[in-house]
Amino acid sequence: MSTKYPPQSIVGYNVSPPPDDGTQVAANQLTWVKHKTKLGDPLKTLAEDINTALVAHFDNGPVPVSAPLITDTTHYNQILEVTGTTTISLGDAATMTSGYFLTVANTGVDTVTVDLAFAADTLNGVVGGSVTLLAGDRKTYVVNTVANGYFDTASAIANTARVSGTLVNGNIADFDANGNITNSGLQTANTPQTDHLHQGVDI
């Protein structure tokens, strides 16, 4: 599981160094174990810790999900590949901390609900809010700067049922699943506009 990158620090580097005055005493003797223990080993440990933290940080899935899930800190930067009619509940924003994010992708044919595990949190500014992802939708959810809720980024629209804001003859129009204009100054709903729309693309 992915996690936010935790800063790494070196431990034991050059601890209790010998006097650097040229005196010929046992503490100044050049032995391998002294250099390895006080210099080499701490650097080796730090490099290994950085590697481990980076592997965890960039492990972003995708992760298959088919049952209700409450997200937590291990889902940071994860892509949740969701199938089935289920609910993804976003974990407590304060615990996740500002800047935490994850992506929920509905790769199935059913409806996925994204809501909040902590009722006092907000989703897109709404306390206790929720979002419905239809088949093919995906959204990224980000903890806001004050860590009391989430906002989502633009959704990938999969089909004509959710195409909106399409420019038709100089007017902005919305379409239903059959390619009919539902919101435009041009024509009324149920007027086919197949000459303007084919699978969500202007032609």
Chain-centre distance for alpha carbon 127: 21
Whole-number pLDDT of residue 22 = 67
What is the distance between the alpha carbons of residues 196 and 59, in angstroms, rounded to a whole number?
42
Specify which residues 181 forms β-bridges with: 175, 191
pLDDT tens-digit readout, 43-80? 888 888 888 878 777 777 799 999 999 999 989 999 99
Judged by DSSP in three states, 14 sits in coil
pTM of the model: 0.58
Sheet of 131-133: strands edge to edge? 69-70, 86-90, 112-116, 131-133
pLDDT (tens place) for every residue of the chain, 203 residues total: 445 666 778 787 777 777 777 677 777 677 777 777 778 888 888 888 888 878 777 777 799 999 999 999 989 999 999 999 999 999 999 999 999 999 999 999 999 999 999 999 999 999 999 999 999 999 999 999 999 999 998 644 444 344 444 444 545 555 555 555 556 554 444 444 444 444 444 44
Judged by DSSP in three states, 51 sits in helix
